Amino acid sequence: MAGDAYDRFMGRYSKPLAARFADWLEVGGGQRAVDVGCGPGALTEQLVARVGAEHVAAIDPSEPFVAACRSRFPGVDVRQGAAESLPYDDDAFDVAAACLVVHFMTDPVGGLGEMKRVTSADGWVGATVWDLAGSRAPMAPLWEAVAEVAPEHPDERDFQGGSRASLVSVLEGAGLRDVEATELAVTVTHPTFEEWWEPYQHGVGPAGEAIAALGEERRARVEEVLRRNLGAGPFDLTAVAFAARGRA
């Protein structure tokens, strides 16, 4: 299933990140919250734990992710749709959040503008993106190896929102007030190289797509470089995300 494949690939980092993000957005009882670009529900889980499923909405353009999120969180209003055209009334929520989504939006400023529209006055609108520009994302070791084997292959460093300045500019461009940013770090212990490497074999996300596109010979060379760089395990990897929030 798409949700399970994503969890093996990114969930081991996105779940602890989502917990820190929800804390930073001050999500608490009595609020109504929406998870924009929910995927299989890493942030949705945190919102439900803090405000209850009946006060949470979630939306994602991917039908398999919507199905996964619905099955995992009964009672949450999960819909299929895009950030740039949210199917909610004005002022419908007290907090709107997008976890690891801005760099995939067709129109990030438009998407955050929609999040602002559906959030009540003075509510937090927030977003996180891995530090792609600074090569501190969970996928950084992979992109380093790909650059050695296939230097012509594009990576994620230029994705919009992938630096502190870029993410802040998106929120400010959407008209949010009092925009501020912070760094959220996540450290994951990988028991073996194989446990770290296996999820990249399923074509999930830009990193998985890059591996699939390399061909058998260069995939093997990338794996050799990664084994040299990371070792057999166990090893710790620390990923850093920028988080930005502003008032609606």
Domain boundaries in the chain? 2-247
Length of the chain: 248
Looking at residue 205, its pLDDT comes to 79
Residue 5's contacts (CB-CB under 8 Å, 6 or more residues apart) are: 199, 202, 204
Under the banding of pLDDT at 50, 70 and 90, the label for residue 2 is low
Q: Is the pLDDT of residue 137 over 80?
A: yes
* pLDDT for the residue 116: 98
Model pLDDT, residue 201: 86
Given a cut of 90, whether residue 99 has pLDDT beyond it is yes
pLDDT (0 to 100) of residue 14: 96
pLDDT of the residue at 109: 98
Q: How far apart are CA 37 and CA 21, in angstroms?
A: 15
- The lowest-confidence range among 74-88, 142-156, 166-180 is 142-156
Out of 3.40.630.30, 3.30.1330.10, 3.40.50.150, 3.40.50.620, select the CATH number for domain 2-247.
Answer: 3.40.50.150
Task: List, in sequence order, every beta strand (DSSP E) within 44-198.
Answer: 56-60, 77-80, 93-99, 119-130, 177-190
Q: Please state, for a pLDDT cut of 70, what percent of the chain lies above it.
A: 99
pLDDT at 154 over 60: yes
Higher-confidence residue of 106 and 8: namely: 106
Buried-state track 185-197, b at ≥16 Cβ within 10 A, e below 16: ebeeebeebeebb
Distance between CA atoms of 37 and 59, rounded to whole angstroms?
A: 6
Q: For the segment 13-44, what is each residue's pLDDT rounded down to a tens digit?
A: 999 999 999 999 999 999 999 999 999 999 99
pLDDT at 113 over 60: yes
